[in-house]
């Protein structure tokens, strides 16, 4: 009997959006006999990812950045060949060149601007090697930029943000996964209600969690501006964060502003706080892993995303999350997260509770992943878990094997998970988890979850909560509540 077969097919001169490619990969991976399927543009960094995942075959080694690589690992040669044929058919399906109303849809920047002369923002989602070139073109045409692309060199980010500053434009990203501009959700954002709270976030799921908590508890968002994960680093200098603060400070529809990030350097933090002090609006500062800094009188420091939402709402408490009694249990907590920032928030809560924790979404002062730690929290959207595969927000099956392993581990007392809704996310992530749990005959650990979303999302928040509860999962009002609940369940045995 032969082992798994890896084969590649190269489609020269074909570029498709990364999100579309991930969705196509999911379709092909569901085919009979397919172990793993991945479709990537043949940039050096993507080929390195495929090689590390064991998915790069000889026929794709020479692929270039203008080529598409289809990579399949199948159980047999026949299954692999069939999957390659199916992948080609999937890619070649007729794609609309017209909108829903039959109007022509442009395929280039100049024709798009000609068709929409009043547009003031462009979303860029091309391989990182080409993203800066496109962004410069957009900025010079007078449009703000949201750059979904990642793997953009740091020096190019600095240059783009300097140019945007000179032109009085916003340069959101690189690696900006979520934004809400004028009520329009962009990227992996949620359909939150309009209101007077502005958000500036270096984190996509951090932006999503705070905006949805605000919306579900009677508030609304004016704009939520993503800045990219490196914006508050010393080289970038907080360029987009400062520009976003300026924009929201000048916006009459914004009364309060929330800042979300991992901690910046002291120099950049002081620059941000000096700008905050010059505003007449109230600021909520949520910088993970940072000790409470000296803030100006118009600002409040919060240690969690939940606390940030509560402060932005004027001190409205968001409940305790302990409505359902779960007896204390002996053992450890295993956290399996789709949202990296949600994993980091849980880690901060565990550390503040005085229990040992390890995570690959490390925040300052946290341990690295090691067997000596009591609890493990994993960001399954990190590169080591998504090499050649879609993100778990898009393809929840990425979490299947780790969940099975956690539920079978006699040392695990609590399984802690997050469900992230919104545009671009899986159509029914709670249903996927429920189907998986139904396949497991005996489940010992308690399962505690949070759902990041709102009722108006495509997946419908209340329906997702109900699906989980009917599957025996305890659902809490926020990710922070879920982490606190998990700590409480095991606190007695590990105290």
**Residue 307's pLDDT band (boundaries 50, 70, 90)?**
very high
Q: What is the pLDDT of residue 66?
A: 81
- The residue range of the domain holding 268 is 194-318
How does pLDDT run across 137-162, given as a tens digit for each residue? 999 999 999 998 887 899 999 999 99
Evaluate whether residue 65 is within a structural domain.
yes
Same domain, yes or no, for 429 and 454?
yes
User: Are both 386 and 418 inside the same structural domain?
Assistant: yes
Residue 323: inside a domain, yes or no?
no
Do the domain assignments include residue 189?
A: no
Shared domain check, 341 and 310: no
Residue at 244 is within a domain: yes
Of 283, 318, 353, the last residue of a domain is 318
User: Is the residue at 98 inside a domain?
Assistant: no
Instruction: Give the range with max mean pLDDT: 31-45, 57-71, 218-232.
Output: 218-232
Cα–chain center distance at 280: 32
pLDDT at 253 (0 to 100): 97
User: Does 329 score more than 90 pLDDT?
Assistant: no
CATH number of the domain that residue 447 is part of? 3.40.50.261
Task: Average the pLDDT over each of 104-108, 135-139, 348-352 and give the range with the smallest value.
Answer: 104-108
Tens-digit pLDDT profile for residues 441-463: 888 899 999 999 999 999 999 99
In a domain, 186, yes or no: no
Determine which of 87-101, 107-121, 268-282, 399-413 has the lowest per-residue pLDDT on average: 87-101
Kindly report the average pLDDT of the chain as a whole number.
Answer: 88
pLDDT in tens, 234-244: 999 999 999 99
Tell me the mean pLDDT in the region 176-185: 94
110 and 77 in a common domain = no
Q: Is residue 169 located within the same domain as residue 225?
A: no
Q: What is the CATH number of the domain that holds 12?
A: 3.30.1360
Residue 369: predicted pLDDT: 52
**Domain check: are 389 and 469 in the same one?**
yes
358 and 481 inside one domain: yes
Cα–Cα distance for residue pair 479/486, rounded to 1 Å: 11
Residue 492 pLDDT > 60 = no
> Considering the chain, what percentage of its residues have pLDDT values greater than 70?
90
pLDDT band at 372 (very low <50, low <70, confident <90, very high): low
pLDDT above 70 for 320: no
- 365 and 300 in a common domain: no
Residue 494: pLDDT over 50: no
pTM of the complete model beyond 0.95? no
In a domain, 120, yes or no: yes
Confidence at 34, pLDDT banded by 50, 70, 90: very high
According to the model, what pLDDT value does residue 150 have? 81
pLDDT for 323: 61
Q: Which residue, 43, 67, 92, sits at the end of a domain?
A: 92
pLDDT digits (tens, 9 = 90+) for 275-286: 999 999 999 999
Arithmetic mean of pLDDT, 73-101 = 78
* Cα–Cα nearest to 264, from 243, 285, 281, 245: 285
**110 and 83 in a common domain:** no
The reported pLDDT for the residue numbered 186 is 94
Residue 97 within a domain = no
307 and 251 together in one domain: yes
Same domain, 350 and 481: yes
| 358-369 mean pLDDT | 63
pLDDT of residue 264: 85
Q: Which of 268, 293, 318 is the last residue of a domain?
A: 318
Q: Is the pLDDT of residue 112 over 70?
A: yes
The answer on 211 and 73 residing in a single domain is no
The whole-number average pLDDT for the span 40-61 is 88
Question: How many domains in the chain?
Answer: 4
């Amino acid at each position: 009997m032969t082992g798994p077969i890896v084969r590649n097919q190269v489609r020269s001169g074909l570029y498709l959006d990364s999100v579309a490619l991930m969705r196509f990969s999911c379709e092909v991976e569901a085919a009979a006999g397919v172990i793993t399927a991945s479709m990537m543009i043949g940039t050096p960094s993507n080929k390195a990812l495929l090689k590390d995942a064991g998915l790069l075959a000889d026929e794709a080694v020479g692929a270039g950045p203008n080529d598409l690589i289809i990579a399949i690992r199948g159980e047999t040669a026949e299954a692999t060949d069939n999957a390659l044929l199916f992948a080609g058919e999937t890619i070649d399906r007729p794609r609309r060149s017209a909108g829903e109303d039959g109007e022509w849809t442009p395929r280039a920047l100049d024709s798009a601007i000609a068709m929409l002369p009043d547009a003031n923002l462009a979303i860029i989602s091309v391989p990182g090697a080409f993203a800066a070139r496109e962004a410069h073109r957009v900025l010079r045409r007078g449009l703000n930029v949201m750059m979904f692309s990642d793997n953009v060199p740091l020096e190019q980010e600095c240059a783009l943000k300097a140019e945007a500053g000179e032109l009085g434009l916003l340069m959101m990203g690189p690696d900006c996964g979520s934004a809400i501009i004028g009520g329009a959700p962009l990227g992996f954002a949620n359909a939150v209600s309009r209101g007077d709270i502005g958000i500036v976030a270096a984190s996509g799921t951090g932006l999503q969690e705070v905006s949805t908590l605000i919306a579900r508890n009677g508030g609304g968002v004016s704009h939520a501006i993503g800045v990219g994960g490196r914006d508050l680093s010393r080289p970038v200098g907080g360029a987009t964060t400062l520009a976003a603060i300026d924009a929201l400070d000048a916006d009459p529809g914004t009364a309060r502003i929330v800042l979300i990030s991992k901690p910046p350097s002291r120099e950049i933090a002081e620059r941000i706080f000096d700008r905050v002090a010059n505003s007449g609006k109230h600021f909520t500062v949520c910088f993970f892993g940072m000790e409470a800094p000296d803030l100006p009188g118009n600002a409040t420091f919060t240690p969690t995303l939940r606390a940030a939402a509560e402060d932005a709402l004027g001190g409205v408490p968001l409940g305790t999350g302990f409505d359902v009694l779960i007896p204390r249990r002996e053992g450890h907590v295993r956290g399996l997260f789709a949202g990296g920032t949600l994993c980091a928030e849980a880690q901060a809560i565990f550390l503040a509770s005085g229990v040992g924790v390890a995570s690959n979404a490390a925040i300052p002062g946290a341990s690295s992943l090691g067997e000596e730690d009591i609890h493990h929290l994993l960001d399954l959207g990190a590169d080591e878990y998504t090499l050649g595969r879609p993100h778990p927000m898009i393809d929840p099956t990425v979490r299947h094997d780790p969940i099975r392993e956690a539920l079978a581990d006699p040392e695990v007392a609590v399984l802690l998970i997050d469900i992230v809704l919104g545009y671009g996310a899986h159509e029914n992530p709670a249903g996927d988890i429920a189907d998986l749990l139904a396949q497991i005959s005996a489940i010992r650990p308690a399962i505690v979850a949070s759902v990041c979303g709102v009722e108006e999302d495509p997946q419908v928040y209340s329906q997702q909560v109900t699906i989980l509860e009917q599957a025996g999962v305890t659902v809490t009002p926020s990710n922070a509540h879920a982490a606190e609940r998990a700590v409480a369940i095991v606190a007695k045995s590990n105290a």
